[in-house]
């Protein structure tokens, strides 16, 4: 995740990665906002990594082809050693919140569901097979009623439920 305060002639950002034994490689591109004086927020997800330490940088490219590199950021990626459902954040929230969870092994039948206080399912964020790793999903409750909700992570081997509060 990164932000810009202003942008001038910004075509976009080439996301680059390297590990200890590799050279920098382009792994993705995120379009910029051209010229603006407003704050812009950007993000990129690097999926399907092996355990290890990686370095990342951005190559900000202008429409005329000129470019600048960002500072490098080091990230250690490891496979979790246990199932975990984290508390959402922010909490209370309005109108959206982030829910994170970890899987120590590949798992089928992963469900991340949200329920109202009557126990009715109001959203299903995940219903699929996932590989071991850390996951993050956003729930936008813009059209939901103010109040308490629960969210549940369910796999073949694990179930966890947490509460969250939506305030308009």
pLDDT above 70 covers a percentage of the chain that reads 99
Write phi, then psi, for 38 (nearest 5 degrees).
Answer: -95, 150
pLDDT for residue 21:
77
Of the two residues 107 and 20, the one the predictor is more confident about is: 107
Q: 48 falls in which pLDDT band (50, 70, 90)?
A: low
The answer to whether the CB of 150 falls within 8 A of the CB of 114 is yes
Record the pTM.
0.63
pLDDT for residue 45:
87
How many helices (H) and strands (E) the chain has is answered by 0, 14
The answer to whether the CB of 112 falls within 8 A of the CB of 124 is yes
Distance (Å, whole) CA 60 – CA 68: 5
pLDDT digits (tens, 9 = 90+) for 59-98: 999 999 999 999 999 998 888 899 999 999 999 999 999 9
Q: In terms of Cα–Cα distance, which of 84, 87, 126, 131 is closest to 105?
A: 131
pLDDT digits (tens, 9 = 90+) for 121-140: 999 999 999 988 889 999 99
Distance (Å, whole) CA 38 – CA 102: 35
pLDDT for residue 149:
98
């Amino acid at each position: 995740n990164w932000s810009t305060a202003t942008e001038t002639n910004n075509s976009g950002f080439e996301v680059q990665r390297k590990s200890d034994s590799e050279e920098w490689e382009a792994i993705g591109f995120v379009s910029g906002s051209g010229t603006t004086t407003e704050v812009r927020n950007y993000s990129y997800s690097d999926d399907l990594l092996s355990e290890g330490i990686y370095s990342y940088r951005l190559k900000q490219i202008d429409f005329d082809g000129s470019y600048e590199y960002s500072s490098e950021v080091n990230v250690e990626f490891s496979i979790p050693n246990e199932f975990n459902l984290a508390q959402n954040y922010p909490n209370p929230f309005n109108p959206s919140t982030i829910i994170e969870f970890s899987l120590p092994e590949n798992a089928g039948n992963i469900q991340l569901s949200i329920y109202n206080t009557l126990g009715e399912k109001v959203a299903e964020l995940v219903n699929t097979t996932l590989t071991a790793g850390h996951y993050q999903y956003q729930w936008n409750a813009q059209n939901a009623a103010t109040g308490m909700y629960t969210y549940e992570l369910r796999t073949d081997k694990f179930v966890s439920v947490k509460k969250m509060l939506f305030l308009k």
